[in-house]
Structure 1
């Protein structure tokens, strides 16, 4: 089905198929009814992280962070701006490494904040350190060809 994209609901973890032509029309999860693409940053738990990083067809940028990390907290509003800018071209999410140490260990996180870009079940790029929104958007664009919108 080349004309659809598989998206994991960030709320319930259910996999959904969405027609590519409808990605900008705020598609909802067939299971829980929550929006699949919001232009906002989703907070992931371990199970949803694993499903989304392995199953999403759209680029998924995950911010690995911790509440005690000053640079992580400083970057949070910039990450949110990047999510708005990218819209339906990529989804942005964050995972608290303090709450989910096994996930961050499996991902090979050695310092935070760390950004890992996934697409179709594969890691395609990494970026370390706090970044402004423009750098985050440019990072996604340069690694996926996504144009904001």
Structure 2
């Protein structure tokens, strides 16, 4: 693999795709299942696709740990969605329901929600708890873009 190629796991089938960095903006599709690798909206993370999406991706992944009963999470959801639409494919966005996936939430020591985490190749590189407004969120994410 060369420095100008990035790996990206497919959220649908788990296949690892190699994408030239210069072609990220060309709406790449999975080589195996042909689904879009970026949709402009956050992906839903589960135990089944976490490894492919987060651990196998060289594109940084921003994960929103949330729950349906959480008021601040409901406030954060549209901000997170708008930010995903603006910043993909330089960052990948995903949501993890802590009620549906308690083992994953526990693995990362999630104590309050919403909590946002940025991962690079499966490693946590940034964490922020609480609601952020769009400009604040984009500023926080700026150093993590590819």
State the TM-score, normalizing by the size of structure 1.
0.91
1:39 equivalenced with 2:40 (yes/no):
yes
For the aligned residue pairs, the C-alpha RMSD in angstroms reads 1.3
Q: Tell me the residue number matched to 2:69.
A: 68
Q: Tell me the residue number matched to 1:94.
A: 95
Q: Hey, what's the Cα distance between the residues in 2 that align with 1:55 and 1:77?
A: 27
1:120 equivalenced with 2:121 (yes/no):
yes
Q: Is the 8 A contact 2:11 2:52 kept in 1?
A: no
Unaligned runs of 5+ in 1: none
Matched position secondary structure for 2:104: helix
* Structure 1 range deviating more: 37-46 or 24-33: 37-46
Q: Hey, what's the Cα distance between the residues in 1 that align with 2:130 and 2:75?
A: 11
Structure with the higher fraction of residues in helix conformation: 1
Q: Is the 8 A contact 2:57 2:122 kept in 1?
A: yes
Q: Tell me the residue number matched to 2:79.
A: 78
Q: Hey, what's the Cα distance between the residues in 2 that align with 1:130 and 1:70?
A: 10
Unaligned runs of 5+ in 2: none
How many residues matched? 145
CA shift digits 1:52-110 (9 cap, x unpaired):
22211011000000111111011110000110111211011001000000000001101
Q: Is the 8 A contact 2:42 2:93 kept in 1?
A: yes
Shift >6 Å, 4+ stretches: none
Q: Tell me the residue number matched to 1:29.
A: 30
Q: Hey, what's the Cα distance between the residues in 2 that align with 1:25 and 1:51?
A: 21
Q: Hey, what's the Cα distance between the residues in 2 that align with 1:133 and 1:16?
A: 30
Q: Is the 8 A contact 1:82 1:137 kept in 2?
A: yes
Q: Is the 8 A contact 1:23 1:37 kept in 2?
A: no
1:9 equivalenced with 2:4 (yes/no):
no
